[in-house]
Amino acid sequence: MTTASRRPLDEASRRARHGDATSAGGRRARGPADAALLLIGACFLLPLLWLVFGSLDAEAGYETRLPASPSLTNYSAVLTPELLLGPLWNSLLLSGGTATATVAAAVLAAYPLSRFQSRFNRPFMYSILCGTCLPITAIMVPVYGLFVQLRLLDSLPATVLFMAATALPMAIWMTKNFMDAVPVSLEEAAWVDGASGLTALRAVVLPLMRQGLGVVFIFVFIQTWGNFFVPFILLLSPSKQPASVSIFSFFGQHGAIAYGQLAAFSILYSVPVLVLYVLVARGAGGSFALSGAVKG
Amino acid sequence: MVERKTVRRQLRLLPVVPSVLLILLFLAAPVLWSFHASFTNAALTGRSARNPAWIGVENYERLLGDSAFPVSVVLTIVFVVASAVVGQNLLGLLIAGLMTRARKPVSAVVGTAVVAAWVLPEIVAAFAAYAYFSKDGTLNQLLGGAGVAGADWLYAYPMMAVVLANIWRGTAFSMLVYRAALADVPQDISEAALMDGAAGWQRLVFITLPLIRSSIATNLMLVTLQTLAVFTLIWVMTAGGPSNASTTLPVLAYQEAFKFGDIGYGTAIASVLIVLGLVFGIAYVRLLKDKR
């Protein structure tokens, strides 16, 4: 359809060629490579086993063991409005709001950067790239100070805007790369028909880069959903805190007793991002998403 | 007419404004404020919370005199080098290399396992790592099964535990970067070397690694920056303890600012981290510029 959506196919075909060449060249080496990989994979899965087994075990501790009598009691215990559903709703508001704001701002910014030549473009893009390198944990102390001064502490909209700002450098970078892949000729046709720049953006460019925008949106959503430190510092009242923070207080209060519930809470909280990740990886290919980010 | 054209041209840049405002207000301002506040005695509560006084370089002097700071710098370097530069980077390269040889389903399954640890919310990953290394956790179960006496890893070897946990958590990124890089290595070069009788390691050292060196540099830079900023993993697993034995700079900055309420001193530590991040950021940008 467009270059943007054709790229994963190229990637796949190149991979396939690559795979053929390997099978011809090094069939002998396959057994050991398989074994080594499986061993590494097992090491990576081990820490996660506890979560799964523990969540099904009403008498779970820190050891990993098959539940003697598997049950869903842990899940039903945490599936209450105040314990899980409220915080999950807050997480959804925070992540959805941040991803929407980020994508909206990034699309607007990427359009002139991608379409019009200007001597500001290169310095701007390089400062943006430099901004992606700012360690966010490092600025949380000053951000707290700033939020106190501006009386923005404990405000969900302000937290959303802050998290959007932290995600923006990467999002602008990715969005511009995706937009560069949409041919200008299509817009020129729209301009000839009298459409303004922004109308052309909405009617021609955005539909063609839907997939790329989806990647950016999900990328920001996953990042925000999993973020603990920022809402931990900026949101004070429990009724506004997302699941990442409430699970931490739960752990402090009950975690030392209710290991199984902690595991069940963790799993329910993780499922949405796992699903979203699979969606991106399946639909667009992990390396496709990464190419938008790393490609210069 | 000419003027109208320049105005129109500048109007074209109007859509960039919301992004610029957000970045200026929420990223640039805190960075500047951090440098400013690090020269004051700003506090979390009390009189100096409302009217912080300018105290010059006192915070930085205290930083140099404070025994916790040099220890923290060393711990941060150990954490970054061991878990990112060596651990994640080499393990990611190894996994990506093995994947070019292994059967496809094996690669897919193992890739999913590695990525799972990375996609999970950081706090969940931290809980899982905590349980794994805790006294009656999975690691000691495994060691017990092999007849080796375990330890209370989080108290006896806190740095080792957080380093291993961060390798587990972050290797997926390096793996993805190197998988993409290795897929770009032309197969015929490697095959020609194979025909000439080059051994596996020779092909790796003389052909593959030089071909992907820009990916290696990019990856090293990015994992270093990501690891420099790790807070949650360490905070949940050890909270910097026992007695500062795993207090990296982000944890130290948090403790000084929020536990002891000394925002000024906390921002001084944060400023050091920001400068470090900017240095790496500028180096990264130059690297990408050179690549073109």
Residue B225 touches chain A, beta carbons under 8 Å? yes
Say yes or no to pLDDT of A18 above 70: no
Partner-chain residue, chosen from A38, A146, A197, that has the shortest CB–CB distance to B29? A146
Residue A187 and residue A235: Cα distance in Å, rounded?
44
Asked if residue A32 belongs to a domain, the reply is no
What percent of chain A lies above the pLDDT cut of 90?
23
**Is B214:B177 a contact under the CB 8 Å cutoff?**
no
Asked if residue B53 belongs to a domain, the reply is no
Among residues A133, A144, A174, the alpha carbon closest in space to that of B26 is found at A144
Sign of the dihedral defined by the CA atoms of residues A224, B228, A290, A40, in that order: negative
Asked if residue A103 belongs to a domain, the reply is yes
The angle subtended at Cα B75 by Cα B72 and Cα B81, nearest 5°, is 140
Point out the least confidently predicted range of A7-11, A280-284, B107-111: A7-11
Point out the least confidently predicted range of A46-55, A268-277, B194-203: B194-203
Crossing angle for the helix pair A156-180 and A86-115, nearest 10 degrees? 40
Would you tell me which residues 129-188 of chain B have a C-beta closer than 8 angstroms to some C-beta of chain A?
129, 131-132, 134-138, 141-142, 168, 171, 176-177, 179-180, 183, 187
Residue A34 and residue A36: Cα distance in Å, rounded?
6
What pLDDT does B10 receive?
Answer: 72
Inter-chain touch A111–B183, beta carbons under 8 Å = no
**Predicted confidence band of residue B292 (pLDDT cuts 50, 70, 90):** low
Chain A hits for B280, CB-CB cut-off 8 Å, are 133
Chain A hits for B19, CB-CB cut-off 8 Å, are 105-106, 108-109, 168, 172
What pLDDT does A13 receive?
Answer: 43
What pLDDT does B162 receive?
Answer: 94
Alpha helices in chain B (DSSP H): 2-12, 17-23, 29-37, 47-50, 58-65, 68-79, 89-101, 104-119, 122-133, 138-145, 153-156, 158-183, 187-195, 200-203, 209-211, 213-228, 232-237, 249-254, 263-291
- Interface confidence, given as ipTM, is 0.84
**Predicted confidence band of residue A83 (pLDDT cuts 50, 70, 90):** confident
Asked if residue B123 belongs to a domain, the reply is yes
Residue A119 or B22, more confident: B22
What pLDDT does B138 receive?
Answer: 82
**Predicted confidence band of residue A59 (pLDDT cuts 50, 70, 90):** confident
CATH, residue B281: 1.10.3720.10
Residue A256 or A147, more confident: A147
Asked if residue A60 belongs to a domain, the reply is no
Asked if residue B199 belongs to a domain, the reply is no
Structural domain including B162 reads 67-184+212-291
Residue B36 and residue B45: Cα distance in Å, rounded?
18
Mean of the pLDDT values across residues B92-119?
Answer: 89
Asked if residue A199 belongs to a domain, the reply is yes
Q: How many Å lie between the alpha carbon of B282 and the closest alpha carbon of chain A?
A: 6
**Is A136:A230 a contact under the CB 8 Å cutoff?**
yes
Cβ-proximal residues to A16 (8 Å cutoff; 6+ apart), any chain: none
In eight-state DSSP terms, residue A72 is S
Among residues A170, A75, A183, the alpha carbon closest in space to that of A128 is found at A170
Mean of the pLDDT values across residues B142-154?
Answer: 82
Among residues B230, B233, B234, B220, the alpha carbon closest in space to that of B280 is found at B220
What pLDDT does A212 receive?
Answer: 85
Asked if residue A263 belongs to a domain, the reply is yes
Point out the least confidently predicted range of A101-115, A276-290, B46-60: A276-290
Q: In Å, how far are A51, A75, A263 from A65, measured between CA atoms?
A: 11, 18, 13
Asked if residue B247 belongs to a domain, the reply is yes
SS3 assignment for A160-216: HHHHHHHHHHHHHHHHHHHHHCCCHHHHHHHHHCCCCHHHHHHHHHHHHCHHHHHHH
What pLDDT does A14 receive?
Answer: 45
Structurally, chain B folds into a number of domains equal to 1
Inter-chain touch A62–B291, beta carbons under 8 Å = no
Inter-chain touch A135–B104, beta carbons under 8 Å = no
Inter-chain touch A273–B121, beta carbons under 8 Å = yes
The angle subtended at Cα B72 by Cα B68 and Cα B73, nearest 5°, is 125
Inter-chain touch A287–B176, beta carbons under 8 Å = yes
Residue B284 and residue A183: Cα distance in Å, rounded?
29
Say yes or no to pLDDT of A295 above 70: no
Q: In Å, how far are A87, A266, B233 from A259, measured between CA atoms?
A: 19, 11, 18
Say yes or no to pLDDT of A210 above 70: yes
Asked if residue B191 belongs to a domain, the reply is no
**Is B156:B76 a contact under the CB 8 Å cutoff?**
no
Please give the model's pTM, rounded to 2 decimal places: 0.84
Structural domain including A198 reads 71-294
Asked if residue A20 belongs to a domain, the reply is no
Structurally, chain A folds into a number of domains equal to 1
Per DSSP, the residues of B121-174 read -HHHHHHHHHHHHSTTSHHHHHHHHTT-----HHHHSHHHHHHHHHHHHHHHHH
Residue A277 and residue A266: Cα distance in Å, rounded?
17
Mean of the pLDDT values across residues B18-28?
Answer: 90
Say yes or no to pLDDT of A34 above 80: yes
Q: In Å, how far are A13, A33, A175, B190 from A20, measured between CA atoms?
A: 11, 16, 34, 14
Chain A hits for B91, CB-CB cut-off 8 Å, are 40
Say yes or no to pLDDT of B204 above 80: no
Residue A276 and residue A142: Cα distance in Å, rounded?
32
Residue B110 and residue B99: Cα distance in Å, rounded?
9
Q: How many Å lie between the alpha carbon of A181 and the closest alpha carbon of chain B?
A: 18
**Is A206:A2 a contact under the CB 8 Å cutoff?**
no
CATH, residue A147: 1.10.3720.10
The single residue listed with the structure tokens 């207080």 is A249
Cβ-proximal residues to B292 (8 Å cutoff; 6+ apart), any chain: A296
Asked if residue B189 belongs to a domain, the reply is no
Mean of the per-residue pLDDT values of chain B: 84
Asked if residue A45 belongs to a domain, the reply is no
Partner-chain residue, chosen from A108, A118, A141, that has the shortest CB–CB distance to B253? A141
Asked if residue B251 belongs to a domain, the reply is yes
Among residues B97, B111, B66, B109, the alpha carbon closest in space to that of B252 is found at B66
Asked if residue B260 belongs to a domain, the reply is yes
Count CB pairs under 8 A between chains A and B.
297
Say yes or no to pLDDT of A246 above 70: yes
Q: How many Å lie between the alpha carbon of B188 and the closest alpha carbon of chain A?
A: 9
Say yes or no to pLDDT of A15 above 50: no
